[in-house]
Amino acid sequence: MASWQIIVAGVVGVIVVSIVTNVLSQVLFRDPNKPPFVFYWIPWVGSAVSYGMDPYKFFEDNRKKFGDVYTFMLLGRKLTVALGPKGNDFVLNAKLNSVSAEDAYSHLTTPVFGKGVIYDCPNYRLMEQKKFAKGALTVRAFQSYVPLIVEEIRQFWFKSPEFFGGNSDRPSGRTDLSVALPQLTIFTASRTLQGKDIRAKFDESFADLYHDLDRGFTPVHFVFPNIPIPITFKRNAAQKKVSDTYMEVIRERRRTGDLSEFDLINTFMKDAVYKDGVRMSDREIANMQIGILMGGQHTSASTSTWAMLHLGADKEIQNALYEEQVAVCGENLPELTYENLQELPLLNSVIRETLRMHPPLHSLMRKIRSDIAIDGTRYVLPKGEYVLAAPGVPMIDPQYFKDPLTFRPRRWEETRNIINLNDSSEAAVISKGAKSPYLPFGAGRHRCIGEQFAYVQIGTILSNFVREFTWTLPPGSSVPTPDYSSMVTLPNKPCAIVWTRRRISEKK
């Protein structure tokens, strides 16, 4: 036998022995004090393929077999899923000494955001950082943001003829939302949250750098954060360049002393002093801007795209949104204001319904710091493993939402914040608490602080599109299925709309 044949036979033998050993260990050694385990054939890989292709199908298939609590293997990590409102509460409201988001995510996020912020610091520091950020998320700030967002939308239409006709006043066209809306949301978010000097950078190569940062959030980086491949090198270079750019802006603002705008950079420069008297460094402030803009842009781009697609498939709701604009703002449709947005219940129901059907994140993980028992069971989860909440599961569960897979914004007018009020199922109140069946922004200490800004940004974008255009999906197409290959759940391509400008007489 040739030497290469011996090597191949040896490798095959090792693989076979590993698989057999793995299977026997699952079949013969079951711990009654641990949740049921999802069977898998290939060691280390586990259920990565089925979970990665469609996590919601994976959750539901295994819930039918095991109930709301079970464990699966994901690329060498043991994750215990806890489904439903009780599962959300167990994971998202767990004590800090029991589970940790920082331990679960810091290896993935720190190379992208930078040192000293988000998950690269003790939890009490992150809680204070979130508090600092709220200074730029006030009603007064939102009132100033709406006209800036409107201005950005109009400039986007004018400067992007490939999307919406530009200055040609083209009466109709077709647009790929997967390209157009991520651009628009990052333009509007950077202008409002970070100021005109940062927004100006996005007309150059800055957006490409953010794209390189975004590509650092991949499943392979979750397991091997510093794997030596081209996208890792680009991620690292982009992080330094973007952080240095924010540093230049911070230095210039300190030089001029002009901190008058309501934006996050100014807020952190003025107020970011921790309770122990330590002030955030300028580098940490710069890194914080990366994390906030990436987090907000991803979720708003996703939600805006899904909303536009569903409205393209539902002409009745689209027309009702236009009529609501006229009724609230007046027949001549003057400039939209923050106060207008508060008086548009159908618009806000559209956003709410979109988030119900398409929450940006399908899984929220925590690493277990000390052995933790699951109430009502005999299960004890050991330190070093992971727990996973899936807030999107109850949001498409018929126990809580009638016809859950149907886009029906008016359900929010009917529920009065109580799901299945007149149904035989137990009523469930919609709230910000971790036991709520509706948690698109998470819950607990890590709940997203950007909910109000998201409604302002997305609401302003949708309002202006409804005023200017009518649109449908391309002939013969339907709302796309979700793409779960990235961190944020986006529509599969193609996700296009066919639009027509409203007649001038129609808008008066």
DSSP code string of 179-239: HHHHHHHHHHHHHHHH-HHHHHHTTTTHHHHHHHHHTT-SHHHHH-TT--SHHHHHHHHHH
Q: Are 187 and 267 in contact (CB under 8 A)?
A: no
pLDDT level of residue 87 (50, 70, 90 thresholds): very high
Mean pLDDT along residues 165-173: 77
**Inside any domain, residue 4:** yes
What kind and span of H or E run contains 490? strand 490-491
**pLDDT (0 to 100) of residue 109:** 96
Is pLDDT at 420 greater than 60 in this prediction? no
Backbone angles phi, psi at 419, to 5 degrees: -85, 140
- The confidence score (pLDDT) of residue 340 equals 97
Long-range contacts of 428-433 (CB under 8 A, 24+ apart): 428/85, 428/400, 433/89
Nearest to 288 by CA among 309, 311, 310, 271: 271
- Which pLDDT band holds residue 6 (cuts at 50, 70, 90)? low
Could you tell me if residue 461 is inside a domain?
Answer: no
Confidence band (pLDDT; 50, 70, 90) for 27?
A: confident
Question: Residue 369: is its pLDDT beyond 80?
Answer: yes
**Tokens encoding 501:** 């400008």
Q: Is the pLDDT of residue 15 over 90?
A: no
Residue-level pLDDT at 317 = 98
Please write the tens of the pLDDT for every residue from 147-156: 999 999 999 9
171 part of a folded domain: no
Query: What pLDDT, on a 0 to 100 scale, did the predictor assign at position 205?
Result: 76
Residue at 8 is within a domain: yes
Please report the pLDDT score of residue 505 as a whole number.
45
Higher pLDDT, 4 or 207: 207
* 305-325 pLDDT per residue, tens: 999 999 999 999 999 999 999
pLDDT at 39 over 60: yes
Residue 15 lies in a domain: yes
First vs last C-alpha separation in the chain: 86
Per-residue model confidence (pLDDT) at position 168: 66
The number of folded domains in the chain is 1
Query: Tokens in use for 70?
Result: 């079970």
pLDDT at 487: 79
pLDDT bracket for residue 443 (50, 70, 90): very high
- Cα distances from 341 to residues 55, 126, 376, 453, 458, in angstroms, run 34, 31, 44, 12, 10
Residue 425 has pLDDT above 50, yes or no: no
Query: Is residue 7 a part of any domain in this protein?
Result: yes
Going by pLDDT thresholds of 50, 70 and 90, the confidence category of residue 422 is very low
Residue 10 has a pLDDT of: 59
Q: What separation in angstroms does the CA of 395 have from each of 87, 355, 383, 401, 441?
A: 13, 9, 30, 7, 12
Model confidence over 189-243: pLDDT tens digits?
999 999 999 999 887 678 888 889 988 888 889 889 999 999 999 999 999 999 9
Whole-number pLDDT of residue 94: 95
| pLDDT confidence bin for 508, thresholds 50/70/90 | very low
* pLDDT (average), residues 108-122: 97
User: 212 in a domain, yes or no?
Assistant: no
pLDDT tops 80 at residue 165: no
**Cβ atoms < 10 Å from Cβ of 167:** 9
Partners of 220 in beta bridges: none
Query: How many angstroms separate the Cα of 337 from the Cα of each of 140, 308, 341?
Result: 12, 21, 7
Which of the pair, 106 or 507, is modelled with greater confidence?
106
| 8 A C-beta contact, residue 353 and residue 408 | yes
pLDDT average, residue stretch 39-62: 94
Token pair for residue 152? 């950005």
Report the half-sphere exposure of 341 (CA within 13 A, side-chain side).
28
Report the pLDDT value the prediction gives residue 404, as an integer from 0 to 100: 96
- Kindly report the average pLDDT of the chain as a whole number: 91
What does the pLDDT average to over 364-376?
Answer: 96
> What DSSP string runs through 30-98?
--TTS--B---SSTTTBTHHHHHH-HHHHHHHHHHHH-SEEEEEETTEEEEEE-HHHHHHHHHT--TTT
Q: Per residue in 453-494, pLDDT tens?
A: 999 999 999 999 999 999 999 999 999 999 998 878 999 998
Tell whether the model's pLDDT for residue 365 goes beyond 50: yes
- pLDDT-based confidence at residue 263 (cuts at 50, 70, 90): very high
Tokens representing residue 376 in the block: 């009502």
pLDDT, tens digit (0-9, with 9 covering 90-100), for 329-338: 999 999 999 9
Containing domain of residue 7, as a range?
A: 1-29
What is the structure's pLDDT at 217? Answer: 87
Residues 125-131 have a mean pLDDT of 97
- Domain membership of residue 161 (yes or no) is no
Please tell me the distance from the alpha carbon of residue 315 to that of residue 326, in angstroms, as a whole number. 17
pLDDT at 132: 96
Q: Is the pLDDT score of 424 beyond 60?
A: no
Q: What band does 17 get if pLDDT is binned at 50, 70 and 90?
A: low
Query: Is the pLDDT assigned to residue 415 strictly greater than 70?
Result: no
